[in-house]
Amino acid sequence: MNISEVERLGRSVRYNFYDIFKTVQARPQGGLSIKVRRDRPAETRQSGIYVWHHPHWGYFYVGIAAADNFTERWNKHIQKLLDQCTSAQQMANWQSFAQKFAAAGYGIDDLKDITLRFYPRPNPNSPTFKQELSDIETRIVRAINPMCNREYDPARPSATRIPPTRPITESSGYSLQGSFTHDLTTSKVWLMQELARIQPRMGTVYVLGSWFGNISLYMHLLPLLKTSKIINVERDRNMLAQSRRMLAHIGADNVEHMLADANDLDYRQLGPDGVVINTSLTDMPGRAWFDNIPVGTTVVMQARDHDPGRQFHSTQDILDRYPLTNVEYQGKIELRDPETEYNRFMVIGTK
Ligand SMILES: C[S@@+](CC[C@H](N)C(=O)[O-])C[C@H]1O[C@@H](n2cnc3c(N)ncnc32)[C@H](O)[C@@H]1O
């Protein structure tokens, strides 16, 4: 059952959960703190139809917003999904799904894998607009029968799956093991080799979206580059903690772990010969991380194609979005991840 088989749905865009939300955290006193990004895509402030999807659970909810009330509605869906309703009223189907989600070992950390497929429908200011949206919603719900919608019929096939339990060894995605696949290791070694040709001695290096500290691990184990300090910037507390443990284990004592949003940095530790590395362009919406980098800094950027995140098809795509005054290196390598072949692009230069 495929959503694209529903006729006349028109253009859709797909957003990663954290393209729209800034943070979702459990409050110590109970309930959730949910913040949306100020720089969320403009389209998500307009009217349209949206479908929530998780790679293991499939499509699980279809909804509409006839005005700029997506973020309010999506805020409530998060409360329902995690079954922590404070400002939302829990619904029977959501609750049943939430209980299955929790029982299979999923929770707040899995929000990052959710994507929102969105069909923008500008409001032509017609009195029948809301009804038209609602009719389309009904057609989608009938076609894919998602488990969280009120109309869900358990007797019919559904686009929502129930995985028996949380897969422990994911081949890709955000798992520790998935961060050391052959293609990702090759990409990091490529980065170190090219950077070593340009700037083998560096001051402080900021690694944005540092994941499990992979680059800092390689930089320690394969000392092609000399650096006085590495700052791993990551917004995921658990990944950062894992990174800290691994780097301590190998005796890397010049690495700082910073729990922060890369878009909020002031680069105060950069100093002379500092370098900023961002290999997560496809995963990182917003451009404050780049705008805040002091002019004259060496910046290394990597992005790839065939990715559900933001699309990049060339090094020029990187430079168009993040212009440099002097490009020292740009190149492409062909790789294969556990799912597909793809191209990775890299640019090194001075901002
Ligand atoms: C999937 S990983 C890295 C992927 C990249 N292909 C690589 O190999 O380096 C992306 C990381 O960036 C982090 N991230 C995304 N946006 C961020 C932000 N605004 N600030 C800090 N970390 C961020 C995510 O939590 C994740 O750990």
Give residue 235 CA to ligand 1 midpoint distance, Å: 8
For the chain, the straight-line distance linking the first and the last C-alpha, in angstroms and rounded, comes to 47
CB atoms within 10 A of CB 44: 22
211, 219, 237, best to mutate for ligand 1 pocket (most atoms within 8 Å of CB): 211
Predicted confidence at residue 172, as pLDDT, reads: 40
**Where in the chain are the domains?**
3-144, 178-350
Report CA(64)–ligand 1 centroid distance (Å): 30
The helix or strand, by DSSP H or E, that contains position 97, with its residue range, turns out to be helix 92-103
> Average pLDDT per run of 10 along the chain, which is 351 residues long?
63 86 86 89 85 92 84 91 93 94 86 89 86 88 94 94 66 70 95 96 97 96 93 90 92 94 95 96 89 97 85 94 97 89 96 97
Q: Can you tell me the distance from the alpha carbon of 32 to that of 81, in angstroms, rounded to the nearest whole number? A: 12
For residue 310, report the distance from its CA to the centre of ligand 1, in Å.
Answer: 12
Residues with CB under 6 A from ligand 1: 174, 184, 209, 211, 233-236, 239, 261-263, 279-280, 283-284
Reference 215, options 238, 236, 195, 235; nearest CA is 195
Distance of CA 123 to the CA centre of its chain: 29
pLDDT of residue 170: 39
- Report the C-alpha gap between 140 and 105 in whole angstroms: 29
- Helix (H), strand (E) at residue 336: strand 326-336
Which CATH code fits 178-350?
3.40.50.150
